[in-house]
Chains A and B, each alone.
Chain A
Amino acid sequence: MKRDAIGSPIARKTLIGQRVKKPDAPEKATGKTRYINDMVLPQMLIGKVLFAGRPHARIVHIDTSAAEKQPGVYAVLTGKDAAGLKFGFVRDNVALKDKVRCEHDEIAAVAAETEEIARRALELIEVEYEDLPGVFTPESGAREGAPLVHENFPGNKSLSFEFKHGDLAAAEAASDFVVDNVFRPHHVTHCCMGTSCAIADFDHNGKLTIWTQTQYPYNYKMDLAPALGLDPGDIRVIQPPIGGAFGSKLDVYPYEPIAALLAKKTGRPVKVIYSREEEFRASPTRQAAIIHMRTGCSRDGVLTFRTADVLLDNGAYTSWGPTIPVIMMRTTSGHYRVPVVDFKAQAIYTNNPYAGSFRGYGNVQTTYATAQQMDMLADMVDMDALEFHLKNAQKSGEVTPQKSFLRECALAECLETAAKASDYSRKRKDYAAQRDKPGRYKKGIGLASSIHNAGGAKIHKSDGIGTILKVDDYARVTVITGASEIGQGIDAVVTLIVAEELGVPLEHVTIVNNDSDVAPWDVGVHASRTTFIAGNGTRRAARKAKAQILNAAAKMLDEPAETLELRGGFVVRDKCGTPLIDLERLLRRMHFQAEPELVMVTDYYEPKSEPEGAKHISDHSAAYSHAVHVAEITVDTLTGEIKVDKVTVAQDVGRVINRMGLEGQIEGGIAMGLGYALSENMRIEKGMLRNPCFRDYKLITAPEMPPLDLHFIESNCAEGPYGAKGISELPTIVIAPAIANALFNATGVRIFNPPMSPEVVARAIHERRASTPCASSLESERK
């Protein structure tokens, strides 16, 4: 018998595409949130690290006796306490060193009652070094007879990569135009506002609990275990709120096992926390590289080939940095339609700081090259620049030489949207015509695009995520997800999806994701994967719960489950929205009926992608996406200052889920890319960082942020949650070459070695003026 309505009809409403507030924002805005940096545990000691302060040396002798005697000092450790406990991608690192290979090598560590006592104890540690000649560039590291950074890596050779496709000789012969340049993307660093911090504590069973800033909590156990001689199963990882990560927390860094070694030695919790200077010196950097790139095209503007010969400054140890060629080659082979590709990369050990993972992961460096070469070729062929880009833009269904399947490809739409909104083609011609006329300030417009993974990247054995979801007797939902919240807003996305599927208020959703003893596995926050992967996992789990609930409702209400829906806290008839039973009441009935059932579901979602493979020919992501930036700038040709007046963005987001979060990630990503393009620069001289402070390492500030015109292209990715694709890296990847192209448009000057700082730009303009007295001679190359 049909049930009566228990209220007026509830209309369909969707949260997808709405502006959803971040659930943890109020606590953060009131200063109540306890970040790991704020944590104090009972009996906790403070750990400080003694860094080598020199790039390459033998440790002759260490005397810690004076330090150990200090009142308030509980432990002093040196290399002998970590001997043989090798960790790292290629097992080339230990927590405390027996030899100095870079300026931030950890020589000793102290645990003491206060930071002040620990610092004083460090000063009392006497170390005798024998300085060794160092290698500070990959070229010099690769030279015959160069000093070895690691004895077991002859020739200082670290990782190497290769990918070839097609007949290069034939493609070169068929090219009418070839651009051939060397780019030197530089060292920058993450500058998370919360400095590095870890707290370690052992229980009486020898199980380690580590509070950490990690963004990959499960594989982290596997990577940390050898540094301590532990079983990964005996490590519990807890993730308190952190002050940013951006890829820097995708590996184990020595201060973490140091905290654990100190905790083991003292029997007390130990917190190691970096000062800002230590953060600058000892954190991983973005991978610096020397990219020799060549791109060719035919007279009628069709790309014929692209080659890249890459030399990487591995630094002293191998972390994620030297693995970026895996993505660099994807850009080389997949940024626009490229029929022939030749890519090779070699990493060389040096005595410089080493690189980790950093938002954009090799694509920032590569696109700086590919997008500028596209702009250069656009000037050589006899066609409108936009037409040249469109001619080579892939379409949905195309497959790249590496087998990236561009199921839904919106590059052309992004190009057209951004170009139209910014009036790109007209301005590009106008500004170029003004370039050599008199005038101190020159306007320029530049376009750049890129392609990036948007559905994870199967570089590990699994690219999946586990989700556990329960709905209690009060219709409150708890999602226990493997997805880590690092400030990027996955908490808002997961909350939104649960509310959407189960028809409950956002405030009734709780997320648990910060304890490896509780939450299921996820590979980590990288490759712009979290909304895609965790979004799908959450949606699947929520739908399982919904199915269970609606089945129970169907039995109780005697109506087919397919006709029912969850809306506004009720079970309703889907078609008309008539509420039939309050969800809470239904859940309690399910719980306390004769055959009780609780709503508790699990899900493991593995995206449909292929493992990377040694040959690098695989559809390694479940989705790919594109972004186009058009940057408009004004250049002060005397001081070299670039003012960014506006950036027009067209990005294929698949589908907008949380509009506010999406905007925030794009805005923040662009700010990071602007810093990379214009002002951030680690001045490393002979292995020593000369500017380890915000005064001399310049981040973008509020007055420098230009107005942004954002266009979201929804290509509706079949595999993505509600059609969404991953988005957070492309904004950082695309902005720098857009500015570089705008600079050329304005001034005729191209900067191959970022950053485009005022001094670099002023010098380049000055040199160009000195060497081209008749500026119109440049015009002969153009139509």
Chain B
Amino acid sequence: MQEITSYLAPRRLDEALQAMADGDATVLCGGTDLAPQTESGMRQYKAKLLNIRRIAGLDGIEAKGDEVRIGTVTTISEIRRNPALAKIAPVLVEAAEHFASEQIRNAASMGGNLCNASPAGDMIPPLLVLDASVELASWRDGAVQMRRIPLERFFVGPGKTVKLPEELLTAIVFDRPAADFVGKFRKSGPRPALEISTVSVAIGARVANGRLSDVRVAMGSIAPTPLRARHVEAALEGKPLDTATIAAAVAGTADDAKPIDDVRASAWYRSHLVRVFVEEVLNDVRGN
């Protein structure tokens, strides 16, 4: 069993990245995933435990310009309560609203939710629908290096991302949606709260004259990673938002959603719920 030989709580990004450079650091922020996963033995600590919560510049939600930037340590509660996001990206705030419990929301970080890469990660479908990217920082050649990865290419499997061990996710960014962009989120679980969601659906599109364009549909808990539902998108892109289109979109879910049976729900029920939610959300958009 790995021993933790050092604990660090740096205040500067370059310090943190240098400590991570050998790939032997476990990142700590809210602890809401790290704690249960290490307790159960599902995950092992590396030699360094690196608390990133005090690093300057990793917090805050900037929404002034064309790009919205959410610092990685931003908690789900902060998302939920942010007035700017409520106007610009209500679909994200909606997901935050239904995320676990208040106690978890107050501690869980956005970066943590993404890096945990659960197929059921609640904040991911709305970010996919917002066409978000993540910023990854590392220390190389004596300097801070940054790269951006579109969120859609960030996840490779349950719990797995393209982030390298020496990289730190520093921010989530997305372009401020167009004025006619409408985004909706719907999820379930047997409970209003505290369920790791049985199924979630987020839909975003530009709506003009009853037609949808720039359609993004994202789903959680129906595949090894949250994903963009391309078949559903194709059924909606450029189409008038009418009954026939909605039916086609619902039918398209069968090609995108490949859920499994597990202790929480059966594949049948997940597929069923996805159809119900896609229809519900589209009718909701239509109602707007």
Contact = CB atoms under 8 A, between A and B. Distances in A.
B140 interface: no
Interface string A751-772: 0000001110011001000000
A679 interface: yes
Interface stretch (A55-63, A222-230, A394-402, A696-704): A696-704
Interface in B235-254: none
A572 to B, nearest CB: 54
A698 B256 CA distance: 29
B191 interface: yes
A638 B276 contact: yes
A639 B264 CA distance: 14
Interface of B: 188, 190-196, 263-266, 268-269, 272-273, 276
Contacts of B264: 696
B259 to A, nearest CB: 12
Contacts of A695: 194-196
Nearest to A759: B269
Interface of A is mostly: loop
Contact of A766 (B194, B196, B265, B272): B272
Contacts of A638: 276
B192 A701 contact: yes
A690 B266 CA distance: 14
Contact of A701 (B193, B263, B269, B272): B193
Chain B interface helix/strand/loop/mixed: loop
10 contacts: A638-B276, A639-B188, A679-B190, A691-B263, A694-B194, A703-B192, A757-B190, A758-B188, A762-B269, A766-B272
A470 interface: no
Given A639-B188, A766-B272, A759 B193 contact: no
Interface in A637-655: 638-639, 641
A703 B269 contact: no
B239 to A, nearest CB: 23
Max chain A C-beta neighbours (<10 A), residue from B191, B265, B266, B272:
B191
Contact of A704 (B192, B195, B269): B192
Given A698-B191, A701-B193, A639 B276 contact: yes
A696 B273 CA distance: 19
A766 B273 CA distance: 12
A690 B263 contact: yes
Contacts of A683: 263
Contacts of B191: 679, 698, 701, 704
Contacts of B276: 638-639
Contacts of B266: 759
B94 to A, nearest CB: 17
Contacts of A691: 263
B272 A762 contact: yes
A683 B264 CA distance: 10
A766 B269 CA distance: 11
Interface in A440-469: none
Nearest to A700: B191
A639 B274 CA distance: 10
A638 B283 CA distance: 15
Contacts of A703: 192-193
Nearest to B101: A701
Which of B190, B194, B195 has the most chain A CB atoms closer than 10 A to its own CB?
B190
Closest 9 A-B residue pairs measured CB to CB? A759-B269, A638-B276, A690-B263, A691-B263, A703-B192, A683-B263, A679-B190, A698-B190, A696-B263
B263 A639 contact: no
A683 B190 CA distance: 15
Contacts of B190: 641, 679, 698, 757-758
B265 A759 contact: yes
Contacts of A679: 190-191
Interface in A691-722: 691, 694-696, 698, 701, 703-704
Contacts of A759: 265-266, 269
A757 to B, nearest CB: 6
A279 to B, nearest CB: 15
Contacts of A639: 188, 273, 276
Given A679-B191, A698-B191, A766-B272, 16 more contacts: A639-B188, A639-B273, A639-B276, A641-B188, A683-B263, A690-B263, A695-B194, A695-B195, A698-B190, A701-B192, A703-B192, A704-B192, A758-B190, A758-B269, A759-B265, A762-B269
A193 to B, nearest CB: 15
A759 B193 CA distance: 17
Nearest to A685: B263
Contacts of B196: 695
A757 B189 CA distance: 11
Contacts of A762: 269, 272
Contacts of B272: 762, 766
Contacts of B194: 694-695, 701
Nearest to B192: A703
Contacts of B195: 695, 698
Contacts of A696: 263-264
Contacts of B273: 639
Query: Which interface residue of B188, B196, B263 has the most chain A CB atoms within 10 A?
Result: B263
Contacts of B268: 763
A703 B193 CA distance: 9
A16 to B, nearest CB: 40
A639 B275 CA distance: 10
User: A638, A757, A766 — which one has the most chain B CB atoms within 10 A of its CB?
Assistant: A638
A674 to B, nearest CB: 12
B263 A763 contact: no
A683 B196 CA distance: 17
A766 B191 CA distance: 21
Nearest to B273: A639
A679 B194 CA distance: 13
Interface in A233-292: none
Contact of A763 (B192, B193, B269): B269
A691 to B, nearest CB: 5
